[in-house]
Chain A
Amino acid sequence: MLTLKFSRVAKRRLAGKHATAIIGVVASGNLEVLLERVLPGADCQIEIATPITGYDETWKAVIDEFVERFSPGGLRISINDGGARPDTVFLRLMQGCALMEKV
């Protein structure tokens, strides 16, 4: 099992009041994303557990793009991956942010 950790400082804190959200399922080609609003300021940490090795640069590219576009400040994001493609990863991260921002 490979563990990847990313620490980023986003442009701003993510809007909304939800403390946690979970989206997706650990299944083939899918993943689950757990979002927790536990970090100070605009800090963002993302930790990924995946059985698939050799895609570190792809994960980094998806995370950088996600942080740039959605500014998930204050979130600790934990991912259990079942071998999802980058577009699925991005979709789940977007869905997770939408749940956290929901009124």
Chain B
Amino acid sequence: MEEAAIYARAGWFQATARQRIAGLLDPDSFTEFLGPSERIQSPHLHLFDLPSAFDDGVIIGRGKLNGKDVLVAAQEGQFMGGTFAEVSGAKMVGLVRAARDHKNLPQTILLLLDSGGVRLQEANAGELVVAELMRAIVQARSAGVAVIALIGGKAGAFGGAGLTAATCSRVAVSEQGRIAVTGPEVIETNKGVEEFDSKNKALVWSTDGGKNRRLIGGADAFAEDSMEGFRAVAIALIAKVPAFDLKTMLAEQERLAARQEKLGACDDAVSMWRVLGIKDPEAIRDMDSKDFAALAKSIKEANHDAR
């Protein structure tokens, strides 16, 4: 227990996927499916003379969160950028489909996303699996399963991970977490440095980072960058998950249209924060997690029952 107390304060950003699962769930409650001893590895990476991982960078299983049974999938952002590939993706899709089809399994899924998107060496399989995962999440939600994305890893949630997050029932993010589809370097390469300077870290984080995502309604909770920070928001989020039906879909469309209208003319994050009614938007960047989480709760656009 002494050990657990030490790790509770450990950072989420720097941790491995296995450390995050251990820090998030109740102590010793996790059971892994298709663990590393089964060696369900990528059949492709060796063709590129690249090393494989025994779990292909995704860990799936079940455990308890504050006494409640949950399913968990965690991407290892340090292995190949946490990428979606044939095996890593199939493990996530299989987990979500299992929850959709078997009511005796936990009906809450935590997705610890940490991914740059599709693995280029397995791009066709990766693109397919992202589509399958989004479809499986929507079907699972329709069947009453709650799917919660937790985002605060080094790779962020880009490409397919950004798309996946957008299909979830609820999204939690930390300041270090980033959510987007097209990554900063890709925008710069395609549209030029004037459009988006990927080396400007302040610009990247103020645009894609957790604080902006929370304020404009892309994330429903703001977590402190620690095991107990994500644990606290996950516990709070699973207690109240919106239903998924036509009404939710229409509300989400309406919300996004209103956001486009209100913020569409802004050319950076600070100007959006000003439009949202924040008196001193420049102060947001240096605000600590607790103050920021409280501020975000007071912004109308950041709190909604859509998704």
Bound together: yes
A interface with B by C-beta (< 8 Å): 1, 20, 22, 25-27, 30, 32, 34, 36, 49-51, 78, 80-82
Complex CA gap A1/B47 in Å reads 9
- With a cutoff of 8 Å between Cβ atoms, the chain B residues found around residue A51 in the complex are 49-51
Complex CA gap A25/B78 in Å reads 7
Which residues of B from 68 to 101 have beta carbons under 8 Å from A?
76, 78-80
Instruction: Tell whether, in the assembled complex, residue B51 and residue A26 are in contact, meaning their CB atoms are under 8 Å apart.
Output: yes
Complex CA gap A10/B47 in Å reads 35
Known: A1-B46, A22-B18, A25-B76. A32 touches B37 (CB 8 A): no
Q: Which of A26, A27, A36 contacts B52 (CB 8 A)?
A: A26
Instruction: Tell whether, in the assembled complex, residue B37 and residue A1 are in contact, meaning their CB atoms are under 8 Å apart.
Output: no
Residue of chain A at shortest CB distance from B78: A27
Complex CA gap A15/B53 in Å reads 27
Query: Contact size class for B?
Result: 10 to 19
Instruction: Tell whether, in the assembled complex, residue B76 and residue A1 are in contact, meaning their CB atoms are under 8 Å apart.
Output: no
Q: Which of A1, A32, A50, A82 contacts B54 (CB 8 A)?
A: A32
Instruction: Tally A-B pairs: CB < 8 A.
Output: 45
Instruction: Tell whether, in the assembled complex, residue B78 and residue A36 are in contact, meaning their CB atoms are under 8 Å apart.
Output: no
Shortest A16–chain B CB gap in Å is 16
Which residues of B from 39 to 76 have beta carbons under 8 Å from A?
46, 49-55, 76
Residue of chain B at shortest CB distance from A27: B78
- With a cutoff of 8 Å between Cβ atoms, the chain A residues found around residue B16 in the complex are 25
Instruction: Tell whether, in the assembled complex, residue A1 and residue B51 are in contact, meaning their CB atoms are under 8 Å apart.
Output: yes
Residue of chain B at shortest CB distance from A53: B49
Instruction: Tell whether, in the assembled complex, residue A36 and residue B79 are in contact, meaning their CB atoms are under 8 Å apart.
Output: no
Instruction: Tell whether, in the assembled complex, residue A1 and residue B18 are in contact, meaning their CB atoms are under 8 Å apart.
Output: no
Is B27 interfacial (CB 8 A cutoff)? no
Complex CA gap A49/B51 in Å reads 7
**Additional 18 contacts, C-beta under 8 A, given A1-B46, A51-B51:** A1-B49, A20-B35, A20-B36, A20-B37, A22-B54, A25-B16, A26-B52, A26-B79, A26-B80, A27-B78, A30-B78, A32-B36, A32-B53, A34-B36, A34-B37, A36-B37, A78-B54, A80-B54
Complex CA gap A27/B14 in Å reads 13
Complex CA gap A30/B18 in Å reads 15
22 chain-A/chain-B pairs, Cβ below 8 angstroms:
A1-B46, A20-B36, A22-B18, A22-B36, A22-B55, A25-B16, A25-B78, A27-B78, A27-B79, A30-B78, A32-B36, A32-B54, A34-B36, A34-B54, A49-B51, A49-B52, A51-B50, A51-B51, A80-B51, A80-B52, A80-B53, A82-B51
Instruction: Tell whether, in the assembled complex, residue B49 and residue A25 are in contact, meaning their CB atoms are under 8 Å apart.
Output: no
Residue of chain B at shortest CB distance from A52: B51
- With a cutoff of 8 Å between Cβ atoms, the chain A residues found around residue B78 in the complex are 25-27, 30
